[in-house]
Structure formats: C-alpha cells, structure tokens
A and B are shown apart, each in its own frame.
Chain A
Amino acid sequence: MAYSDKVIDHYENPRNVGSLDKGSKDVGTGMVGAPECGDVMKLQVKVNPQTGVIEDAKFKTFGCGSAIASSSLATEWLKGKTVDQALEIKNTDIVNELSLPPVKIHCSVLAEDAIKAAISDYKNKQGATSTKAEAVTVQ
C-alpha cells in the first residue's frame, strides 16, 4: 500500500511521543483499541485548570503507520485548544489531513475516540474534585 507523504512524515518523526503523569489531576488519559484488533492508542492531555487550555499532549500507539500518524497528528492539534474545542476534532478532519485511504479510516476513528476518552477522563477528575469541593462548601 502506498502511504501519503504526511503519514510517512508522522511515522518517521512522530510528534509528542511519551507519557504524562496519569495520576495528576490536570492530566486526562484515553486508552482505546485492543491488542487483538491490532491497534491500541494511548492519548494524554495536560490541561490548565484555570483557562481550560490544553498545554501539553502526548501519545503512544501500537498499530499500523496510519494509526501512529493519526494519533501523532491529534496531539499536534490538541495543544493550545480548549477542552471544548478539542471535542470538535472529527475523524474526517484527520482523514483529510493525512489522505487516509478507506481501509484506514478506522485509524482516524480510533484517534477521535482517544481524544474524547482523554477529555472525558480529565473532566471526570475535575468533576470528582469540584463535587467534593462543593460538598465541603455546603458543610
């Protein structure tokens, strides 16, 4: 299969590879896929709780070149966006940017799922804390 230049570029020079402290309150972690399906993506965002802006994003991906490229691109796009803007990233944006062929569309779907999972993890962490804080206030 022929890969687009952008896929090859992300594969050869993946952006933002690594891990953030998943225990931190400001970090949201999304892990999607399954090894037996041949792809697993871990995507993490570090959010500034004051501004809601994603200050850092990291990924690690087990999967084909298109899956690696999709998650690498996602981390690039996430940085500087607010949490709500991040949720607007659609898999079709990734497909278009990387010129993914039809058989690789699921890679972009997985990347979108990973973004949503990471944001939702972050929101849960914040929600859990603010609920607690509220409870404290009421007392």
Chain B
Amino acid sequence: MKLPIYMDSHATTRTDPRVLEAMTPYFTEYFGNAASRNHSFGWEAEQATEKSRKQIADLIGATPKEIVFTSGATESNNLALKGIAEMYAERGNHIITQVTEHKAVLDTCKHLEKNGIRVTYLPVQTNGLIDLDQLRDAITDKTILISIMYANNEIGVVQPMKEIGKIAKEKGILFHTDAVQAVGKIPVNVVADGIDVLSLTAHKLYGPKGVGALYVRRRNPRVQITAQMDGGGHERGMRSGTLNVPGIVGLGAACEIAKNEMAEESKRLSFLRDKLKDKLMGSLDEVYVNGTMEHHLPHNLNISFAYVEGESLLMGINDIAVSSGSACTSATLEPSYVLKALGAGDDLAHSSIRFGLSRFNVEEEVDYVANKVIDVVKKLRELSPLYEMAKEGVDLSKVVWAAH
C-alpha cells in the first residue's frame, strides 16, 4: 500500500493507463486537425473523433451525431443553459433547477437571471432529493427547461431521473441534466431516463482533464442550442473551436472501459464503501450519513462526525486525500451549501467528510483509512468542548452561544 491514499474521486480521477495509451499516438503521430478535409492527417483525426462519439453515445444510449465535444462539464452546462434560454426565448423565459446543483449550473442560472430569465431553485428534502410534487407545481406555461443533476458531487444522491423526464415530456419542457458524477459509474440512458440534454466530462471517469461533451437530442424532440462561442462552426454549429483530438480519444476510451466494467466495478466499490461506512459507524458514536443511501452512487460516502471540525480532521489524516464541507476548507469560508440545504444544521456541515472511492482503491486502503479516521476523531473529541458538554447531557441546540 502506498501513501498518500487518494479517496477524492468526486474532484477528479486518475487517468486510466489504458486511456492514456489510447491517447498518446494522437499527440505525435496522428496530430492532424479533425477539420482538415483534404489530407490523410485530417481524416485520421476525424476518424478518431467519430469513434469517440460512438463510444460516448454507446455508454449513455444516444447516437453519435447527438454528441457535441466541449472543454468539460462547466462549458457543457453553460452551453446547455445559455444556449437553450437563447434559442427558446420566444417560447418562454422560465427555468427550473434545484439548490444543490454544482456552481456551473447555479452561477449560469444567476447570469441568466440578470438577462431577464426567471429561475426557480427547488429545495431538496432532508434526504437530498427533490420533491416531484414541488417540481410539478413550479412549472408554468413559460417554463422552457428543467435542469436537475443526475447525482450530487458532495452527497452522492441520485435524483429520480425517469420521473423528472416523464414530467418534462408531459409538459413539453426540455430536460437537461448535469450527469458528471453519474456517467460511467451507474447506468445512464438518455432514452429510458427521458433526458434531452446531458453534460459529462472525461476526468471524472478516468479520462483526461479539459475535455467533455454535451449530449443534444436530435429526435423527439430535436433540441436546438444557440452557440455561445463564435468561430469556425465546428460541432454542427453548436461549438466552435478546433477539436482536442487526443482528449476526445481519451474520453471515448474511458467511456468504452466504463461500459464494459461498470457492472462489476460498481459492485466492488459499493462493497468497499459499505465496509468503510460500517467500520466508522461501528466504532464511533454520533456519526451521521449525509444524503439517502437508498438512491446513492456506489463509490460515495459523505459523513459527519459530530463535535469534530472537518478541517482539523483533515489535518489529522494528512496522508489521505478526501474533502470536507467545513467552512475552513472552502475559499468562501462558508460551510457546504449542499449540506446546509439538507437542513441538518451548519454544525454538521462543518463536521463532514466526503469519501470518493475509485477504480484504483483497494480494500487494504479502506481499512487503513477507516482506522486512521477513527483514531483522529477520538483524539479530536477528547479536545472538543462540545463533545464534553454533550456527554454531560447538555442540549447543545439550547445553548446561547457567544458568537463572534
């Protein structure tokens, strides 16, 4: 076992060596521009991108022509939301999303609000999922788009995609999903799920950084998107810019591996995740899982250790790479807005740790991580005035704190 241990796969994943191997010839040998139509260098590059389109489409139940390459999911989300808002402006000006989306969706919505788009941010229930009745109630005759993430990047809960897809279809509203955390990890099918537009990125599924895709439905309905960058009119006019051929080859290879190995891999990872959870909860009291485990990514565990502050816990486990929802670990000095949205109280957000297992983690690492976390939590609770008060029977929610 090698230290440090990487268990932060919701942030990014290691590029699979098989993916890298597929990519390398496209830097030095087949370096052509996929838009060069009149020589073999261009043809080879184009062929490679077409192969990748098919590999991606096969993974999500789409057709190759429905795949638009981008620089990653932030761009995909921007292109989807802004491009649809602009294209369908005559039909309406209302978008429905929800509060625990990634900033790439939330901040894009905020931008659109400045331009006269009305946005409804649905709350989530304590389990992290949206309430479908609230979604139905939020729909107006001006609603053009519902954008709900497939799986959450912090708490790993999987939203009810099929039901949302059905509601959108009934009402004739487009359905976009940020599926960055789900694609390649759990079965995603744009037909079965009723998804019209979907964002994905390579580096979350063992591919390279800097490349992603947007699935844009071509039939029933044919979705149109206004380009957000002007240029050579690549990607059927939706996204200009010379294609990142090596990256695209990597994305395709990553999708093909995921399709072949997902069933087995997700079983293995959920076993490891459950082992981690059971060890932590078996050895420590007052440990709370954030987000329902019933609809959950197989490799995610977000857990709060009451009376222990997240950054101090990370400091004690500095040979393990994970993240915390604690304010001290964020640039804004605010605790995680995702955990706050669950209504669990800010103190549990400050005490949370997110574990993201990956293809490359082994059982020995899980054992090491569990033992180390247990030791450090125990040590920090010895240091914690809150733990002492709780043990004395003080109801912390009733204490009047001298906040500073």
Q: Which A residues are within 8 Å of any B CB, using their own CB?
A: 3, 8, 11, 14, 17, 19, 31-42, 60-65, 67-68, 103, 106, 109-110, 113, 117
Contact = CB atoms under 8 A, between A and B. Distances in A.
Contact of A61 (B311, B383, B402, B403): B383
Contacts of B384: 60-62
Interface of B: 307-309, 311-312, 315-316, 326-328, 333, 335, 345-347, 350, 382-388, 396, 401-404
Q: Which of B333, B350, B388 has the most CB of A within 10 A?
A: B350
Contact of B402 (A8, A14, A68, A117): A117
Nearest to B381: A62
A61 B388 CA distance: 10
Contacts, number: 88
A41 B347 CA distance: 14
A113 B404 CA distance: 9
Chain A contact surface mostly: mixed
25 contacts: A3-B315, A11-B316, A14-B383, A17-B382, A19-B388, A31-B402, A32-B402, A33-B404, A34-B402, A34-B404, A35-B346, A35-B347, A35-B386, A36-B347, A38-B327, A39-B309, A40-B385, A60-B383, A61-B383, A62-B307, A62-B308, A63-B312, A64-B309, A64-B311, A68-B383
Contacts of A42: 385, 388
A38 B386 contact: no
A25 B360 CA distance: 59
A41 B385 CA distance: 7
Contacts of B326: 38, 64
Nearest to A19: B388
Q: Which of B307, B309, B311, B396 has the most CB of A within 10 A?
A: B309
A33 B402 contact: yes
A65 B384 CA distance: 12
A60 B402 contact: no
Contacts of B403: 33-34, 36-37
Nearest to B350: A38
A35 B401 contact: yes
A61 B328 contact: no
B309 A63 contact: yes
A33 to B, nearest CB: 6
Contacts of B312: 11, 63-65, 67-68
Given A17-B382, A41-B385, A64-B309, A11 B335 contact: no
B349 to A, nearest CB: 9
B328 to A, nearest CB: 4
Contact of B333 (A19, A63, A103): A103
Contacts of B327: 37-38
Contact of A62 (B316, B333, B386, B402): B386
Contact of B401 (A34, A106, A109): A34
B235 to A, nearest CB: 40
A76 B312 CA distance: 20
